[in-house]
Amino acid sequence: MCGQMVTKITVVGLGYVGIPCAALLADVDGFQVTGLQRRSKRSGWKIDHLNAGKSPFEGDEPGMEELIARVVKKGTFRATDDIEILKDSDAILIDVQTPTDADHIPQYDSLKEVSKQIGERLQRGTLVVVESTVAPGTTQNVVQKIIEEHSGMIGGKDFDLAFAYERVMPGKLIHNIVNLPRIVGGITPKSTMRAKEIYSKVVKAKIHVTDVLTAELSKTIENAYRDVNIAFANEMALVCENLGVNVYEIIEFINELSNRMMHIPGAGVGGHCLPKDSWLLRYGLNKYGFHKMEPQFITLAREINNHMPVHMALLVEDALKKKGRPIKGATVTVLGVAYLENADDTRNTPAAAFITALEEKGAKVVLHDPYVREWDFGPHVIERDLRKAAKNSDCLALVTKHKDYFNLDFDGFRKLMRTPTIVDGRNVYDEKVVTAKGFEYRAIGKAGIE
C-alpha cells in the first residue's frame, strides 16, 4: 500500500449498521467499497440480494433501496464472502454483532474472529475502525492485541486503529448516519484524524474527536442513560396504573416545559443496543477499571425494563378474566414481533419475553407482523394476514407500534374473535373508542389491574 490515501474500504458485517455505512461510502467519489459477509444459511442470501442492487430490509427505510441500486450500478459497491479482500483494503470497518449472554458477559466470538482474520491479512498502513458497540477498553485490549498478535505489527505505528460508534436505528438508517453528530476516538491522534477524514465524506453534522476510551464510554453511557430514563417512565406507568390514572396525560403536562423530557413507557425495551449496552458498560468498568463497583442505577433500570413484557401478560390475564375467560387455553394474538415500529428487526425484542410469559400461563400464541419474514424464537409461524391471525382469538395484544395497527376495524375484529379483549402496550388506541365497540381494554400506563 502506498501512502495514506484511503480509496478501498471493506466493511465487515452487513447488518443494520454495515449496509447503510457501506452504501453511503460507496456513493463518495473515489471510494471503492466491499461489504464482507459470512455466507451462512441465515444471512448468505444478503450477498446475492445486495449484488443485485436490492435492499434486504423489509421495513420502511427511506432512500435505502435507491442508494443501494445506485452504487451497485456505479460499480463502487459489491458484497462478498471472500475474506481475502482484507488484503487489498486501505480501511477496514468492523460492524459485527457484540451480544451479551445470560450472565451479561459480552460474547466477542465474531469480533475476535474478524480481528484475527484482519491480523492475518493486514497490510502496513491500513486503518481499522471498530463501529460495533463494545465494552469500554475493548478496542485496545481485545481488537488491537489480536491484530498485533496475528500481524506482527504495532498499532499506532504500522497500522491505525479507531473506535467510531454509530447511532442508527431501523427506519432512520441513512438519516442518522448522515445527520447525527459522530464521535471518533483513535489509539493515536493520527488514527483519530484518518478515521475522521473518512466519516467527513458522509456525515453532515459535527464530528467530535477524542481518545478511544472516551469514545467507547460515550456510546455505552449514552445508551445506559436512555435505558434508565425509559425505566423511570415504565415505573411511573405502573404507579399510574395502580392509582387508576393515565400516565400519558401526566407526561404531556411535564413535557410542556422545554427543559423536561420524560420518556414514553411501553411493553418493553428491545434492539441490539439498549438491552445490552448497560451490561457492556458494567463489564468494561470491572474488567479495566481501577476498582470493582456495581453501578446501581443501570442494573435496576434493566430489571424494570425486563419486567414490562411480563406485566403485559398480567394485563392480558386480567382482561380475559373480566370477560370470564381463563388465560389457560386462551388464544392471544400478538401484534408485532419486531422491537421497533415499521421495521423488521427482532433483536432482543420484548415480544419474546411476552410470548414466554403467556405460554407459561397456558395461553396459545398467534403471531402477526407485517415486516418480519422469519424469527428464531420458538416454533412460531409469523402470520402476515391480520384478520386470519385474529380469527377465534381471545385477545389482541399490541407489542409493536406498526402503522398497520393504527386503524383497526374494531367492529369486524369483534365478530372474528371469540373473546373481544385488547391489551395496548404502546398507547395506540383510545380507550373510549375501543370499549364502546364492546372490547375489554387494558393498557400500559392507564387504569390497570384492580
- Confidence bin at 71 (pLDDT 50/70/90): very high
Angle at 28 between CA 23 and CA 33, to 5 degrees: 50
- Note the pLDDT of residue 93: 98
Residues 236 and 180 in one domain: no
- Confidence bin at 335 (pLDDT 50/70/90): very high
- Confidence bin at 162 (pLDDT 50/70/90): very high
Provide the residue range defining the domain that includes 434. 211-450
Q: With 70 as the cut, is the pLDDT of residue 280 above it?
A: yes
Residues 133 and 193 in one domain: yes
Q: How far apart are CA 122 and CA 89, in angstroms?
A: 8
Rounded mean pLDDT, 398-407: 97
Residues 113 and 16 in one domain: yes
- Confidence bin at 385 (pLDDT 50/70/90): very high
Q: With 70 as the cut, is the pLDDT of residue 236 above it?
A: yes
Average pLDDT, the chain: 95
- Note the pLDDT of residue 402: 97
- Is 302 a member of any domain? yes
For residue 155, the 8-state DSSP code is B
- Is 163 a member of any domain? yes
Residues 46 and 189 in one domain: yes
Using CA atoms of 89, 93, 97, 100 in order, give the dihedral in degrees to the nearest 10.
Answer: 120
> Which backbone phi and psi does 35 adopt, to 5 degrees?
-95, 125
Residues 228 and 371 in one domain: yes
Residues 238 and 181 in one domain: no
- Looking at the structure of the chain, the number of domains it has is 2
> Which backbone phi and psi does 159 adopt, to 5 degrees?
-145, 160
C-alpha closest to that of 410 among 383, 382, 430? 430
- Confidence bin at 36 (pLDDT 50/70/90): very high
Rounded mean pLDDT, 135-146: 98
**The domain boundary residue, chosen from 155, 172, 205:** 205
The pLDDT > 90 percentage for the chain reads 92
Residues 175 and 292 in one domain: no
Given a contact cutoff of 8 angstroms between Cβ atoms, the answer to whether 76 and 26 are in contact is: yes
Give buried/exposed letters for 122-140 (b at 16+ CB in 10 A, else e): bbebbbbbbbbbbbbbbbb
- Note the pLDDT of residue 209: 98
Q: Residue 249's domain is classified under what CATH number? A: 3.40.50.720
**The domain boundary residue, chosen from 163, 181, 205:** 205
- Is 19 a member of any domain? yes
The amino acid at 41: K
Q: With 90 as the cut, is the pLDDT of residue 387 above it?
A: yes
Kindly state the helix (H) or strand (E) to which residue 127 belongs, with its residue range. Answer: strand 127-130
Rounded mean pLDDT, 399-404: 97
Length of the chain: 450
Q: With 50 as the cut, is the pLDDT of residue 2 above it?
A: no
Residue 349, all three cell numbers: 425484542
- Is 150 a member of any domain? yes
- Is 323 a member of any domain? yes
- Note the pLDDT of residue 151: 98
- Confidence bin at 4 (pLDDT 50/70/90): low
Given a contact cutoff of 8 angstroms between Cβ atoms, the answer to whether 435 and 441 are in contact is: yes
Tell me which residues are annotated as active site.
219, 273
Q: With 60 as the cut, is the pLDDT of residue 39 above it?
A: yes
Residues 420 and 319 in one domain: yes
- Note the pLDDT of residue 5: 66
Rounded mean pLDDT, 416-441: 97
Rounded mean pLDDT, 210-224: 98
Residues 58 and 76 in one domain: yes
- Confidence bin at 378 (pLDDT 50/70/90): confident
Residues 197 and 223 in one domain: no
- Is 1 a member of any domain? no
> Which backbone phi and psi does 322 adopt, to 5 degrees?
-65, -30
Rounded mean pLDDT, 427-445: 96
Residues 172 and 271 in one domain: no
- Is 2 a member of any domain? no
- Is 3 a member of any domain? no
Please provide the distance, in angstroms rounded to a whole number, between the alpha carbons at the two ends of the chain: 71
C-alpha closest to that of 32 among 69, 85, 82, 83? 85
**The domain boundary residue, chosen from 183, 205, 227:** 205
- Note the pLDDT of residue 1: 41
C-alpha closest to that of 348 among 58, 132, 104, 108? 104
Residue range 310-333, pLDDT digits in tens:
999 999 999 999 999 999 999 999
Rounded mean pLDDT, 178-182: 98
Given a contact cutoff of 8 angstroms between Cβ atoms, the answer to whether 160 and 194 are in contact is: yes
Residues 382 and 257 in one domain: yes
For residue 410, the 8-state DSSP code is H
Rounded mean pLDDT, 229-238: 98
- Note the pLDDT of residue 373: 84
